[in-house]
């Protein structure tokens, strides 16, 4: 006798066939909610360590129409934790292999893979989904999709609001958050929680390295510039990584510093943080739990941030991150930044990459009346280049607002510059 088509989901159906003490008042138990879950079209961004877990969980939770996008191919180093991949898959598209592996086990689930960048898709692509789940390892990509979803919201069309469930891990730490674009705190509101790592002073790298990472940074920043300055460093090129590893190893031997390995060199150069499979599993489960609640209304979803740490013991904490009125994405006020009026425009631009609330790498700046500095095109860059050496007090007035754009993002940022007294 053939098994019932929903035998796989009998435990999940226990949540969907009857209301609970915290169920949404609009929740309709039974067949309508189950049908709605099966019809929900979900996009998963990222098919790496977190994405593999998310895809598996969604397929086992009753979602039938899943899409996944990832630009990466499978590397042998992925195999220890990205369990949907095998040795024979090395070099293939992560999205395509992950989709094929899950659907081979869950034949009633359709997974559509996309091999490419999220920036290559337009708003019409994202508009088709009921919700989006991020399993990314890049702050820049998170900021891009966050800004895109906020810009898509049309107050006259409720369907234009696409909930975003975002998960992230770093070693034994992780977080899951639920974002309702324009209604709740967005990723940009929370950007200062992901401060860039402090840079090591060049004098330390050049004269007194103390850690294996210092030797690797020396090879990347100083040795490469001195010996291969005509070649652009490609962190995905094995020959480039091998060269940096050999230089780092010799540097470490000179100062009797142990611990320089090829894998560590690759990690430092590409800013790779070691991934822990158990952390990925926990955060993916939290994300999929929220996606399930959003799709079915069977229980209230997270409001709106859960942090997890498992290094010394297992600890979680949930809180509501408040929306910021001066958020450049979902707010309507300029963010106030205190600056030294004696600093040059060049120094201010460099500081924008280091400030936790900005983290802009190639900013173009302008006031309401004049262009301060353009990164491109070359003609405008050359025209505005003399401003780089001028003091801020020569270019703007105290409390003046400036507009800042960056090619990595779809939005313009507004900052109000207040001079230090």
Rounded Cα distance between 241 and 236, Å, is 8
| DSSP state letter for 358 | T
Rounded Cα distance between 52 and 78, Å, is 11
Rounded Cα distance between 395 and 136, Å, is 39
Going by C-alpha positions, the residue among 275, 215, 267, 218 that lies closest to residue 241 is 267
Going by C-alpha positions, the residue among 59, 32, 321, 83 that lies closest to residue 192 is 321
**Helix segments in 80-165, DSSP class H:** 94-105, 123-127, 139-152
134 is catalytic: no
Please tell me which residue in 189, 203, 287, 298 is annotated as part of the active site. Answer: 203
Distance of CA 291 to the CA centre of its chain: 18
Rounded Cα distance between 332 and 104, Å, is 48
| DSSP state letter for 222 | I
Instruction: Write 346-355 long-range contacts (CB < 8 A, 24+).
Output: 346/388, 346/389, 348/392, 349/373, 349/388, 352/404, 353/196, 354/196, 354/199
Dihedral angle computed from the Cα positions of residues 325, 175, 164 and 300, in that order, rounded to the nearest 10 degrees = -90
Q: What are phi and psi of 300, to 5 degrees?
A: -65, 140
Q: Looking at the DSSP assignment, which residues form a beta bridge with residue 157?
A: 154
Contact yes or no for 184/323 (Cβ under 8 A): yes
Q: What are phi and psi of 91, to 5 degrees?
A: 95, -10
Enumerate the active-site residues.
Answer: 203
């Amino acid at each position: 006798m053939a098994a019932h088509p929903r035998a796989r989901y009998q435990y999940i159906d226990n949540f969907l066939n009857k209301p609970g003490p915290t169920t949404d008042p609009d929740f309709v138990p039974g067949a309508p909610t189950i049908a709605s879950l099966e019809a929900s079209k979900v996009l998963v961004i990222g098919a790496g360590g977190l994405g593999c877990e998310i895809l598996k969980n969604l397929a086992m939770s009753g979602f039938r129409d899943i899409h996944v996008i990832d630009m990466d191919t499978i590397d042998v180093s992925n195999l220890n934790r990205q369990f949907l991949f095998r040795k024979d898959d090395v070099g293939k598209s992560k999205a395509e292999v992950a989709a094929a592996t899950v659907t081979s086990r869950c034949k009633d689930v359709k997974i559509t893979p996309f091999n490419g960048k999220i920036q290559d898709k337009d708003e019409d692509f994202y508009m088709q989904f009921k919700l989006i789940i991020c399993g990314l390892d890049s702050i820049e990509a998170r900021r891009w999709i966050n800004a895109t979803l906020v810009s898509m919201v049309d107050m006259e069309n409720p369907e234009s609001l696409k909930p975003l469930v975002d998960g992230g891990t770093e070693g034994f730490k992780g977080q899951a958050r639920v974002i309702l674009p324009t209604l709740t705190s967005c990723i940009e509101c929370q950007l200062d929680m992901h401060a860039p790592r402090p840079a090591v002073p060049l004098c330390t790298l050049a004269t007194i390295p103390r850690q294996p990472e210092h030797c690797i940074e020396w090879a990347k920043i100083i040795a490469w510039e001195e010996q291969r300055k005509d070649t652009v460093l490609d962190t995905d090129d094995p020959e480039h990584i091998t060269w940096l590893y050999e230089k780092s190893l010799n540097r470490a031997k000179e100062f009797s510093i142990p611990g320089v390995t090829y894998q560590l060199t690759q990690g430092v150069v590409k800013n790779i943080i070691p991934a822990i499979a158990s952390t990925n599993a926990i955060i993916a489960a939290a994300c999929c739990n929220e996606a399930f609640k959003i799709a079915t209304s069977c229980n209230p979803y997270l409001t709106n941030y859960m942090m997890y740490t498992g290094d010394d013991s297992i600890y979680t904490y949930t809180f509501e991150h408040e929306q910021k009125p001066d958020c450049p994405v979902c707010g309507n006020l300029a963010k106030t930044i205190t600056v030294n009026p004696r600093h040059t425009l060049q120094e201010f631009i460099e500081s924008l990459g280091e400030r936790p609330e900005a983290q802009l790498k190639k900013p173009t700046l302008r006031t309401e009346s004049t262009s301060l500095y353009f990164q491109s095109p070359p003609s405008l860059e050359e025209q505005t280049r003399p401003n780089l050496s001028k003091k801020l007090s020569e270019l703007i007035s105290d409390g003046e607002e400036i507009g800042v754009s960056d090619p990595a993002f779809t939005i313009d940022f507004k900052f109000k510059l207040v001079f230090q007294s």
